[in-house]
Amino acid sequence: MTSVTRPLLLALLCLLVGVGALPAAASDVECSAFFKLVDEETASRLWPSGNRYRPPDGSCEEGYFHGPIADGDYDKVRQFYRKYHPFLYAFKLNSPGGDVDEAMRIGRLFRKYQITTYAPESAGPSYILGHGTGAEWEPLCAGSDCACASACALMWFGGVERSGTVGLHRPRIDDPAFKALRGADATKVYNRILLEIARYLEEMEVPRPMIDAMVATGSSEIRWIDSIGDDLFRPPSIAEWEDAACSAFNKEEKKALSGLFWKKVRLIIDR
């Protein structure tokens, strides 16, 4: 009987991929929005606690992760965050998926440092907006190559606020070692991997029906979910904490605000 070892399980976990073959290109992490110098009157309104909490001109406020997720990306994201701490507050995500273990580590880093996560908006052509010169916004990506799916969704779930649309499905294992296992042993390995992912999603406070929907979606298929439509904008603990301190928006108000925002975005994209 084939022995299912922990090293084999970890090796398989690190080789999970998204729908279709991933491109050979490596991922990149860069700044998509820098803080710009403002006058003292505006600065005093934005940062009433004083200059100690005021970001210096040129400090990064939003990171942009794009490309397949691979071994070493957690360290890449962590180093990027260290460079711009404590003023980096958000990451925009554009990835077809990749290494699940790295994605979960990055997602936990996002949650630890209360990072907001943005995925592409997919109502129509997908896109992520960056910041251009002055007040203009320019798309960082657009079209069919602009998406956050598979393992990228795991990173997205780490955000304390989330926007956009992500794709979910069961993990697929392409490693020959998995294919060579006997049926019973393959079941044990795959179930352990599903358990690891489910534990992570529960840690990120993802509703159980959403986890079940992921498991029910074949690895060659994809289920798209939306932060507002599927009520995933904030994890429950963060939502209750913020609503306790501030006025709470109901679901219809959130949809209305989101609709106004994306209407403005589409006008920028289409002009």
pLDDT digits (tens, 9 = 90+) for 228-267: 899 999 988 887 877 776 655 566 655 565 555 545 444 4
- pLDDT surpasses 90 at 16: no
User: What pLDDT shows up at residue 144?
Assistant: 79
Say which CATH number the domain at 136 has. Answer: 3.90.226
Confidence of residue 174 (pLDDT cuts 50, 70, 90): confident
Confidence of residue 163 (pLDDT cuts 50, 70, 90): very high
Summary mean pLDDT of the chain: 79
Tell me if 94 is assigned to some domain: yes
User: What pLDDT shows up at residue 147?
Assistant: 93
Confidence of residue 80 (pLDDT cuts 50, 70, 90): very high
- Pairwise CA distance, residues 127 & 94, whole Å: 9
Which three-class secondary structure state does DSSP give residue 93? strand
Per-residue pLDDT of 116-137, as tens digits, reads 999 998 644 566 766 544 444 6
Per-residue pLDDT of 183-230, as tens digits, reads 998 899 899 999 999 999 999 999 999 999 999 999 999 999 999 899
Tell me if 154 is assigned to some domain: yes
- Domain hosting residue 90, numbered range: 6-270
How many domains does the chain fold into?
1
Tell me if 1 is assigned to some domain: no
Which three-class secondary structure state does DSSP give residue 73? helix
Cis peptide before 176 (omega within 30 of 0): no
Burial class (CB in 10 A: 0-12, 13-18, 19+), 6: exposed
Tell me if 86 is assigned to some domain: yes
Q: How far is CA 192 from CA 13, 96, 187, in A?
A: 9, 23, 8
Q: Are the C-beta atoms of residues 20 and 155 closer than 8 Å to each other?
A: no
